[in-house]
Amino acid sequence: TYLFSYSIVKANNIQGIEKTMDLRRGVLFTIIIGFLVVYGFFKPKRETASGREVARFEGSKKKNGRIKISGSFEITTPQKWCRIGVIFRFSETVKWYDYEPSLGVQFNKYRLSITDKQGNCLFREDRSFMEFISLFTTAYTGKQYLGKYTATHKGDVAILEFIPPGLGNYELDFDLAADEEFFETGHKRTTIFQKFALYVCDGIKPLVGTEYPHKRVDLMQVRDIMTRPIIAEDEAALVTKIAKDMAELGIGCVVITKEGKPAGIITERDLALKVLLKDRKASEVQAQEIMSSPLITIAPETSVEAACELVVKNGMKRLPVVENDALIGIVSVRNMLTKKSEYVKIFYPEVRVLASKGKQGVSSVVSYFLFKTDKRGEKGKMQVRDIMTHPIITEDEDTLVTKIAKDMDEFGIGSVAITKEGGPVGIITERDLALKVLLKNRKASEVESKEIMAFPVITIGPEVPIDEVCRLLAEKRIKRLPVVENGVFVGIVSIRDLLARKPECVKGFYF
């Protein structure tokens, strides 16, 4: 009886323990499932391409190390976006004992172009493919043996997203230079391509984030925004004629030709500094003596984005547009900002270097004027004093124009404020020098500042909100305003100063 009773109790205990274990397992299982559900819900979603794939082009590597893909695709429904992407898959063997995963193919350079059915080039890009290596999402598997590592890579990357101008057929051409075998420090790679393809999707949703970086490509070209017709003069033309062209047509430059082909360019600054500084009359100087040469030009089919980069790179305000050695137009910063106002931060960065001169108790210094954010700026109540350039260069009204031109050249400025008995009275710009002196065929040493200065001068106080400055500059169609406090010049605020700190003002100036 005792043994029988003990057996029953023991069995009940075991069953209880098993039930407890089952309960614990159930709770643990529920917790794990719940965690996975919650993690899956809150986990950052990987951005993936969306849209309908309309074309896929397979490529193969040629003996010369190039991969060429070409073909046509059709856009049948109105779409805001299209996407060009690259899909690749390859295997490699790396002779290296301590293998570090990295892309095993050296892509040297690629070229991609898209044309419409009429053969007009809509997009063309030539660049080093190495810029995109870090963008590739690669998945690799393999094994390590005897100091070698064999891996299989696959992945894809978006080259660009663009806006198709309309429905119809488009031609795509892709050319890639790739080396399958190359050496790096400590190891050698041998790579075999298994697959390489280019694909086009329409109805694409723009992607964001680092998983599939891309850039939006606007198909607007230089020919769409350039100014034409363009005024040109022969290199033998006298500066008198150049100044007359600028005055009558209200332009800031004239392109100079040699035997009918573009050879140089003359701006208002060239007239002001290269002629007046030498104290010569306009009738004594030919265009070829002062023109900026060799001439940097641009093709009409160049994208606006590329034109922007070229202007910034060369520190210029305008580029002549040349096709088949003929001058067909000119594209300027104004043209670009009128159509692409978002470029304002590229042309007008927030840091400006000003060479300033010691006058009236101000010591000679080179002032690095950095625009700094303060509480007023954060609240939208930024004032002129927060962005103005100072100290301002001034000269007395009796000063000869020779000295004015020298100031502009020495300090890299476009205007000089004029005073009378220490008080503000006028301002002289490059345009004043070019048109009011040279157009009358006079020497700089024969003209005093008070004869050509803009008078009365429009000024502004340092406490004025910059929104009001934007409005005033746009209304008066001027580029700068001297800042006056207690009857004395204390600085100057220009369109450049405003756009560097308040880019949205661009619409008031260029629209």
pLDDT in tens, 48-60: 445 677 788 877 6
Name the token pair of 169: 């057929």
Token pair 């202007």 in the structure block, residue:
311
Tell me the C-alpha distance between 428 and 445, whole Å.
16
Q: Are 304 and 346 in contact (CB under 8 A)?
A: no
Q: What is the tens place of the pLDDT at every residue in 183-239?
A: 444 445 555 555 667 778 776 554 443 333 444 445 578 888 888 878 899 999 999
Model pLDDT, residue 130? 45
Average pLDDT, the chain: 72
CB 289 within 8 A of CB 235: no
* Dist CA 411 CA 393 (whole Å): 9
- So what's the pLDDT on residue 308? 85
Alpha-carbon gap, residue 294 to 271, rounded angstroms: 18
Q: Does a cis peptide bond (omega within 30 degrees of 0) precede residue 229?
A: yes
Q: Which residues of the chain have pLDDT under 50?
A: 1-11, 14, 39, 41-49, 96-105, 129-147, 182-187, 206-217, 351-379, 511
Q: Quote the pTM value.
A: 0.55
- The predicted pLDDT at position 8 comes to 46
Q: Which two tokens stand for residue 192?
A: 């075999």
pLDDT score for 315:
82
The residues, any chain, with a CB within 8 Å of residue 387's CB and separated by 6 or more, are: 371, 466, 493, 497, 498, 500, 501
Tell whether the torsion through CA atoms of 75, 79, 80 and 82 is positive or negative: negative
